Amino acid sequence: MPIVVDAGDARMGRQAIDVKGLTRKARDADSYYATHYMGALPDNVPRTMQGADGDRTLPQAYLVEQPADATVPAHFHDTDQFQVFVAGAASFGKKAVQPLSLHYAGGHTPYGPIVTKEQGAQYFTLRAKWDSGGKPMPQSRDLLKPVPRCHRLAEGITANAANLRTEVLGEEDNGLGATLFALAAGRTETLDLMVAGGGQYALVVSGSVTHGTALLGEYSCLFRFADEAPLTLTGGVDGASVLLMQFPISAGA
């Protein structure tokens, strides 16, 4: 069965977070926040945080709130990941990113830094497999595996109400891809890509949907395993925009 997390339920676990070497900030009074959605959080997250000791066999998903004038330094992860910028503004490496933007980095692909200035930023981090935590660069260069680097960035993502599907990341032979679906109110659609992949996240970026008997509002999240049937969602009373992100078959390798 797919994993389904309502944003309202997830927000009940929102907590301030401090990860040594990664959550840099200009003022001691400011805080980063993390909202745990599914799976176990990385090892470098304090064990007192909800979700830190969760199930490591599940996908790993959480929402980060980065305060103003703060920096997450350049780093890499062992595991493939999507990041969805949903609020605020930040510079991402040399790029300025605003909602709605999507970043994909393959395992052992360095990226960043993520820098905020006058305002903070909110972004989801979504992985098909558990990851132990970010490894800062250049200090961790000796831990990088000699694998092909993969980096994708899509900015200014908007839905076209006249089209069910808007391509965000073109589908690749290994299954990597992303599409924004515009669901009309009361309309049921099956969300999928043409090429098979290694698991999918569906993030409700506006409006609401129903999945079975569950009503899921903005920033609710679903994960479909690769061997499961495609997700079927119904647009809520005002319709919905849903970002479907598919990992390559080699996800987390």
What is the set of domains in the chain, with CATH numbers?
A: 3-153 (2.60.120.10), 158-246 (2.60.120.10)
The predicted structure's pLDDT at residue 9: 96
At 114-173, the pLDDT tens digits run: 999 999 999 999 999 999 999 999 999 999 999 989 999 999 998 776 678 999 999 999
Residue 146, preceding peptide bond in cis (omega within 30° of 0) = no
What is the average pLDDT score of the chain?
A: 93
At 117-130, the pLDDT tens digits run: 999 999 999 999 99
**Contact present, 204 and 219 (Cβ < 8 Å):** yes
Instruction: Quote the pTM value.
Output: 0.95
